[in-house]
Amino acid sequence: MAIGLRALADQLLHRRTLRMWGRAARQAQSVNLATLRGMRSRARQIRRRIDRVLFVADERLTLPLIGSDAIPKPLHCDWAYRPEIWRGPIQPPGKAAVESRTMFGDEATLFHDCRISELTVRQIRNTREEDIAPFGLRMDVFRFDGSFLSLALDLPPEAAQGLKRRHLVRLAAAVETEKKIEIFARLNIRHGPNTEQIVRELPLDGEEVVVEFDLAYTNLNEKRVEKLWLDLIFEGPEMNQIVLHDLTLARRPRAEF
């Protein structure tokens, strides 16, 4: 009963507030300047609180929901992962004139050799109907006087646990570019003093991209696997906007014959 009365009182107060500010809007052109200054001050105080409510509401109600970690997995998958950039908010969320070796969150590091950086990186909120990941990453590249641009993603220890040469590692990404560009993915596997590297070009004939790294063609020492990381290498990125709406990795053993 008390909750119902409180809800009714809130509705009545809300209607009264709407009428009051509707009247203020109509009078704003005719009241004296002293009164108008007071109205503006009160309106700004209210607007700050309204903007905060709208910001939080848009953040929580926009799909896909923050914290969602749905990952399409291949058959017999024994490990799958979405890096934190695409999973939840990172710090810093973005930066302009990004210097080489700048970290975004705990897993991602940007590398380049530009003398003058005209590169902007920002985490964005995914809002498209087809998006599964809550967040995406946008890079705006203007003049680019360097020879390389790459994003290194450290993978968690679980990626190395139980890794065998019979495994296939699947990379799936949703990529959108302003103009055509070549993007390469390099999977790095440190085992003892050595590092195996497998490079695949991402086929950007559509937004959904899938490539596989076959470990059978490596000299991987299965007993000494220590760490995995992924490099995304962008060729000729000048005057382009690159949006990575999603990126996931999954591992499965090759079928035995």
pLDDT, tens digit (0-9, with 9 covering 90-100), for 211-238: 999 999 999 999 999 999 999 999 999 9
- DSSP tag of 98: P
Last residue of a domain, one of 34, 61, 88: 61
Smallest CA-to-CA distance from 194 within 216, 162, 223, 171 is with: 223
Q: Which range has the worst mean pLDDT, 54-63, 105-114, 117-126?
A: 54-63
Q: How confident is the model at residue 3 (pLDDT cuts 50, 70, 90)?
A: low
Per DSSP, 56 falls in state H
User: Considering the domain boundaries, does residue 105 fall inside one?
Assistant: yes
Residues 242 and 119 in one domain: yes
Cα gap 116→96, rounded to integer Å: 12
> Is the same domain home to 57 and 118?
no
Q: Which domain holds residue 28?
A: 2-61
Q: Helix axis angle, 33-61 relative to 2-27, nearest 10°?
A: 130
- pTM exceeds 0.85 for this model: no
The pLDDT, as a whole number, for residue 168 is: 96
Do 202 and 237 touch, CB atoms closer than 8 A?
Answer: no
Q: What is the pLDDT of residue 10?
A: 79
Distance CA 55, CA 44 (A): 16
- Shared domain for 87 and 44, answered yes or no, is no
The pLDDT of 196-224, averaged and rounded, is 92
Q: Cβ atoms within 10 A of the Cβ of 55, count?
A: 10
Domain for residue 71, yes or no? no
Residue percentage of the chain with pLDDT more than 70: 92
Average pLDDT over residues 11-15: 85
Contact present, 135 and 64 (Cβ < 8 Å):
no
Q: Is 204 exposed, middle or buried (0-12, 13-18, 19+ CB in 10 A)?
A: middle
Q: Per DSSP, what are the bridge partners of residue 170?
A: 212, 250
Q: 36-40, 46-50, 69-73, 130-134 — which is least confidently predicted?
A: 69-73
Mean pLDDT of the chain: 89
